[in-house]
């Protein structure tokens, strides 16, 4: 039996095609909001933070969520924008730094949907936008999107994708997960519209399909479009978009047909079975049902799954590597193509290089400082 390091060298650390390019290995940095871009502009420190992860050996970086040019797109303080001269110049610099270190990078294009509340940047008077109106204490906090709102968001996503290609990114990821806008339309829990954007699965996929088609129409033919989706919602980890493999196929096939190249199945623990009767996780089911490359993610290198408590200083994970042999098993069986790592990379920029070398002992632990600052 080969050692774990040899097994990962033969799988995780093999190149993979991405559009016209090659990723040097299968490791992806998961998108992570860092709230360190005042006025929506990525700073020099942000550029160095991403560069360090490229220097540390990550094949593909997915940036933190970056909001498109629509008044309700952002939900949090100091998140980078993806429009306007200064923000795009900041991103262009990020791309140059990552490329100089031999990495590839794509932005995660984001609209937070019904999670936004008035009082948030950039225009505090703007409420949330979602499939349905949401009232809190008798006041409208989320506006039900009209057809004109939907068209404006489709256009804003397309513009962002075309700008991404212009400033040199290697593709884009559309954020369709975690209870943000696209997921709000996909999931019946937040979408009971009675028009052509609600009701059947086909209707619930219509808005994301329009976005993907609009994006495809403005970028080069081989410019990779990644779509991130999740069963879980940030306010309900047990929620489900699809209860059966058949339903999953009905959600994802129209997105694939519209032009998605890679699916990013967001799960909190990569080893968990998705549907009864099989050990396969959400990424593996997606790969088999849709026949597209997939990214898996969830608790790699850490002993505890992602939770919102961790942002409030509770329930911190610690490093552990027990599940890496389970990861190697699944990679050997081609159960997924790419592997995203999130929190473990916040405190240890050299995570990829150290795992490749089998140097587990010096991998730095997850810490509250690493969550609060940009470790470079």
Ligand X SMILES: Cc1cc2nc3c(=O)[nH]c(=O)nc-3n(C[C@H](O)[C@H](O)[C@H](O)COP(=O)(O)O)c2cc1C
Helices (H), the chain: 4-9, 44-55, 85-100, 147-166, 181-186, 201-204, 206-218, 245-258, 282-290, 324-332, 344-347, 351-357, 368-372
CB of 196 to ligand X, least distance (A): 27
Residue placing its CB nearer to ligand X in the complex, 175 or 216: 175
Q: Which is nearer to ligand X, 198 or 342 (CB)?
A: 342
Nearest distance from C-beta of residue 138 to ligand X, angstroms: 32
Report the interface residues with ligand X, using CB under 6 A. Answer: 30-33, 64-65, 108, 175, 177-178, 228, 266, 297-300, 302, 306, 341-344
Rg of the chain's alpha carbons, rounded to an integer?
20
Q: In the annotation, is 180 catalytic?
A: yes
Q: What are phi and psi of 61, to 5 degrees?
A: -100, 130
- 49, 67, 129, 180: which is the annotated catalytic residue? 180
Q: What is the DSSP letter of 106?
A: E
Q: Which residue's C-beta sits nearest to ligand X? A: 342
- Of 64 and 97, the one with the shorter C-beta distance to ligand X is 64
Q: How far is the CB of 174 from ligand X (least distance, A)?
A: 10
Q: Which of 214, 183, 191, 181 is nearest to 73 (CA)?
A: 181
Nearest distance, CB of residue 328 and ligand X, angstroms: 17
Residue 356 near residue 312 (C-beta atoms within 8 A): no
Phi/psi-derived region of residue 137, left when phi > 0, alpha when psi is between -120 and 50, beta in every other case:
left
CB of 64 to ligand X, least distance (A): 5
Residue 277 φ/ψ region, left for φ over 0, alpha for ψ in the -120 to 50 degree band, beta for the rest? left
Q: List, in order, residues 6 or more apart from 182 with CB less than 8 Å away.
A: 111, 113, 174, 175, 176, 207, 208, 211
* Residue 236 three-state SS: strand
Judged by beta carbon, residue 49 or residue 198, the one nearer ligand X is 49
CA–CA separation, 128 vs 117, rounded Å? 5
For ligand X, give the closer residue by CB, 126 or 174: 174
**Catalytic amino acids?**
180
């Amino acid at each position: 039996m080969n050692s774990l390091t040899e097994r990962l060298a033969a799988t995780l650390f093999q190149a993979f095609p991405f559009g016209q390019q090659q990723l040097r290995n299968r490791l992806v940095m998961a998108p992570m909001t860092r709230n360190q871009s005042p006025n929506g502009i990525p700073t020099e420190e942000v550029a160095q933070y991403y560069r360090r992860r490229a220097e540390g050996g990550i094949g593909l970086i997915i940036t933190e969520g970056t909001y498109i040019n629509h008044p309700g797109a952002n939900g949090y303080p100091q998140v980078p924008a993806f429009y306007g001269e200064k923000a795009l110049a900041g991103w262009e610099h990020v791309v140059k730094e990552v490329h100089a270190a031999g990495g590839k990078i794509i932005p995660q294009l984001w609209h937070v949907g019904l999670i936004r509340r008035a009082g948030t940047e950039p225009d505090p008077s703007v409420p949330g936008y979602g499939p349905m109106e949401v009232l809190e204490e008798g006041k409208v906090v989320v506006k039900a999107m009209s057809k004109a709102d939907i068209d404006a968001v489709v256009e804003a996503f397309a513009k962002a994708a075309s700008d991404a290609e212009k400033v040199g990114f290697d593709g884009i990821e559309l954020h369709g997960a975690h209870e943000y806008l696209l997921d709000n339309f996909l999931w019946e829990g937040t979408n009971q519209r009675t028009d052509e954007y609600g009701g059947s699965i086909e209707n619930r996929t219509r808005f994301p399909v329009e976005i993907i088609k609009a994006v495809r129409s403005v970028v080069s033919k081989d410019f990779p479009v990644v779509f991130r989706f999740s069963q879980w919602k940030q306010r309900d980890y047990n929620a489900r978009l699809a209860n059966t493999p058949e339903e999953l196929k009905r959600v994802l096939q129209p997105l694939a047909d519209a032009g998605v190249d890679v699916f990013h199945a967001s799960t909190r623990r990569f080893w968990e079975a998705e549907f009864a009767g099989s050990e396969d996780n959400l990424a593996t089911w997606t790969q088999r049902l849709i026949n597209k490359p997939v990214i898996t993610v969830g608790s790699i290198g850490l002993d505890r799954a992602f939770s919102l408590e961790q942002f409030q200083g509770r329930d911190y994970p610690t490093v552990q590597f027990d599940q890496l042999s389970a990861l190697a098993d699944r990679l050997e069986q081609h159960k997924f193509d790419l592997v995203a790592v999130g929190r473990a990379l916040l405190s240890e920029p050299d995570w990829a290089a150290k795992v490749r070398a089998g140097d587990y002992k010096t991998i730095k632990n997850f810490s509250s400082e690493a969550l609060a600052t940009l470790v470079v």
